[in-house]
Amino acid sequence: MESYNDFKKYSILIAEDDPIALGSLANILRRYFKNVLTASNGYNAYEQVLSHTIDIILTDMRMPYQDGADFIKQVRELDQNLPVIFMSAHTDSKTLLRVIPLNITDYLIKPIQIDQVLHLCKELFKKKGELTAQSNISKSLYQLKSGVDVDLDNKIVTKKGEMLLLTKKEFELLSLLIKNRQSVLSKTEIEYLLWDGEIVSESSVKTLIKKLRAKVGEDSISTAKNLGYKISLLN
């Protein structure tokens, strides 16, 4: 039996004009989701999108005032990737042609099976988690101009697959330069940030820069005359 415990951090919006079907769906999904929002037509549903954080939309196709297709057209103007599952009793080509351009996740034929909805949501959230993890990993990986790879999160520095051994202070300086890669850091700023106000010799920063350059490449750290130092990255 599949587990849906991780749904508790997500919110779902259900748009359905049949009050009995809407109530039934909402009651079941409240067992799984953090928040279950409801609407009886496209206008109400769009108001929910504007006023709440929603992770997935389950919408009927045929609704009064504004149907599902027109509702999702508006949603797509705000978010091209918000997952949308349509549910409808209609399979005619005219209806399908209206939803195909809307980047939908799936089109379920009524009467829908709740297990099918839960399984689709599980797959969507799994994919979302994987993409988030990949994004977080990529945010911590950098490559210096010299070809040296730096993984800030895991504190690993390599070149052509071989690990470079940096001292604690050398890695702290490298990390500081990468995190401030858009700026030139002055000698005074580096002293303050690395030694936290501790009194150090006049040559401490220059010596540390020299040692780091010897390990990661001279061209990886540039000197801005009378201003300070800046990291040179390839990405």
pLDDT by residue (tens digit) across 72-90?
A: 999 999 888 899 999 988 8
CB of 143 closer than 8 Å to CB of 24? no
Do 124 and 10 share a structural domain? yes
Same domain, 191 and 213: yes
- Record the pTM: 0.57
Q: Give me the sign of the Cα torsion angle 121, 76, 134, 137.
A: negative
Q: What percent of the chain has pLDDT over 70?
A: 94
Residue 55 has a pLDDT of 92
The answer on 109 and 72 residing in a single domain is yes
Same-domain status, 116 and 44: yes
Per-residue pLDDT averaged across 158-185, rounded?
91
Q: Are 65 and 88 in a shared domain?
A: yes
For residues 155 and 179, state if they share a domain.
yes
What is the identity of the amino acid at 99?
V
Last residue of a domain, one of 121, 139, 157: 139
- Inform me whether the pLDDT recorded for 22 exceeds 90: yes
Long-range contacts of 226-230 (CB under 8 A, 24+ apart): 227/184, 227/186, 228/184, 228/185, 228/186, 228/187, 228/189, 228/190, 229/177, 229/184, 229/185, 229/187, 229/190, 230/177, 230/181, 230/183, 230/184, 230/185
Main-chain phi, psi angles of 115, to 5 degrees:
-60, -35
Asked if 124 and 203 sit in the same domain, the reply is no
Q: Is the pLDDT of residue 71 over 80?
A: yes
In this structure, the answer to whether residues 177 and 120 fall within a common structural domain is no
pLDDT at residue 213, rounded to an integer = 95
State whether 215 and 187 are in the same domain: yes
Same domain, 9 and 103: yes
pLDDT of residue 167: 93
pLDDT at res. 132: 59
pLDDT at 197 over 80: no
Is residue 230 predicted with pLDDT exceeding 90?
Answer: yes
Q: Which pLDDT tens digit goes with each residue over 205-225?
A: 999 999 999 999 999 999 988
Count of structural domains within the chain: 2
* Residue 94: predicted pLDDT: 82
Of 118, 139, 160, the one marking the end of a domain is 139
**How confident is the model at residue 139, as a pLDDT?**
64
Tell me: the pLDDT tens digits for 106-159? 999 988 889 989 989 988 888 877 665 555 555 678 899 899 999 888 888 998
Residue range(s) defining the domain that contains residue 150: 144-231
| Closest C-alpha to 231, from 148, 122, 161 | 148
Distances 213 to 129, 159, 210, 223, 234 between C-alpha atoms, Å = 38, 14, 5, 11, 16
Same domain, 118 and 169: no
Assess whether 134 and 161 both reside in one domain.
no
Residue 205: predicted pLDDT = 92
CATH number at residue 113: 3.40.50.2300
